[in-house]
Amino acid sequence: MKKFAFIVLSAMLGSAFTLGAFKIFDKKQENVYRIEHSTSLPSVPTKYDKDGNLAVMDFTYPAEKVMPAVVHIKSTITSSKRDRNNQYVLPDPFREFFGDQFGERYNRNQPKVGTGSGVIIKESGFIVTNNHVIEDADDIEVSLYDNRTFKAKLLGTDPSTDLALLKIEADNLPSIQMANSDNAKVGQWVLAIGNPYNLNSTVTAGIISAKGRNINILRDRSAIESFIQTDAAVNPGNSGGALVNLDGDLIGINTAIASPTGSYSGYSFAVPTNIVAKVVEDLLKYGTIQRGFLGVMIRNVDGNLAREKSLSLNDGVYVDSLVEEGSALASGIKKGDVIVGVNNTPVKTSSELQVAIGTLRPGDKVDITVNREGSEKTIPVVLRNQNGNTELVEKTEVNTLSSALGAEFENLSSEELKKLGLDSGVRVKSLTRGKISSQTEMQEGFIITKVDGQKVKSVDNLMRVLEAKEGGVLLEGVYAGYPGKQYYALGL
């Protein structure tokens, strides 16, 4: 119960969860990949008239620099899903792409295609995009600025920040350097580059209208939202594209819009590059997200809370409660403290605290400045993971065949087998992208009883049988509560 509470109450300060199950770096080269930031201050390319007066803001330099490094992504779903009424439904991310004209239900055999954008961050083919652009896709195709196309491999995802990392097999590609998004200023000019409505390489301009926005759009329970808000026009298809400063350096990944219509209505939101860099580095080095947790339940301080709690300040992050085994409790932070700084950087909102903590790893040391009963105090904290210790989270190794099949299997108890009238069988616990979902209409809950007429006695037995097969196999089984046997042909 304590562990569950730790995870839930720490939700606002990070997550160590990833959907990917891929080995994504060669140990011999694990130190090769490093995300580097631009240290130059943003410049403002301008044109002047003959008298030296400011004439027109010129966006041609950053546009020409960035467009070749922004790609078009096509995501295809060939597998189908059922709702509670046994109807096939279009997954949520693609409803946003296609709208209501497709309806919630669709033909189980008809593939669906969604489009988005991505940013090349390494010339060797590493591409960042949004998780919702590629979520549940069985096939991912990337089109470059020069019209070359590649099949992309999904290296990993982080739903808590709505980011994903792809890899294509290509070299010497144009790439974008990341700037320090903390240096971005409200009022600064920015460009958004992407592929709205399949209009490739579209550039729009605007200013940063706010920072640290939390709009509660991410569905992950441990979502980290601290978006850069801009008024650069962004529409469906821009997701995963670049938000850059006038030096052409990346400061964010365009992710969402605030709109009553589904089209641009004045505001768009981008994940800051300091979050992007942390996610990419974790996926490349560890294969999963390493995120530190402070272990507190928090609220933004405002005038009302200040009056209610008799606080001497009107901003900061109020500590409502602490989690047992959390790093905050262990370090001496108390309920009622107001967090006002992290590592000597002022913190005024929970979003700012989310970023400051969410970009650190378990075991990292951080100085937390709190206002306690009107006096400030700096407390050193060693961050812990969601399990309450300082160890890095290990990536779960997944059986290669099981990963290729896109399925997780589980054994049935003797009671379950007896109830179903079976003497053996293995249940399909979950299905993701893979051979089963792309080649068959098998649904979660299917009980595999035989492979090519050979009885299946356990998960290990099923894996051994399939590993020994080549070419096509016939899976025989049943669904609990449905009469008759079902058969699925699968090519290995």
Cα–Cα distance measured from residue 63 to residue 193, given in angstroms and rounded to the nearest whole number? 8
**Residue 423 backbone dihedrals phi, psi, to 5 degrees:** -105, -10
Q: Is 214 helix (H, G, I), strand (E, B) or coil?
A: coil
Catalytic residue among 117, 132, 136, 337: 132
Kindly state the helix (H) or strand (E) to which residue 312 belongs, with its residue range: none
Burial class (CB in 10 A: 0-12, 13-18, 19+), 408: middle
Indicate if 239 belongs to the active site: yes
Catalytic residue among 136, 138, 158, 162: 162
Identify the residue whose tokens are 């059986």. Answer: 399
Identify the residue whose tokens are 């850059």. Answer: 244
Indicate if 162 belongs to the active site: yes
- How many other β-carbons are positioned within 10 Å of the β-carbon of residue 219? 12
Angle at 30 between CA 24 and CA 35, to 5 degrees: 85
Contacts of 145 (CB under 8 A, 6+ apart): 67, 68, 69, 70, 71, 174, 201
Burial class (CB in 10 A: 0-12, 13-18, 19+), 448: buried
Catalytic residue among 239, 268, 351, 437: 239
Whether the Cβ atoms of residue 317 and residue 299 lie closer than 8 Å to each other: yes
Contacts of 314 (CB under 8 A, 6+ apart): 301, 302, 303, 306
Catalytic residue list? 132, 162, 239
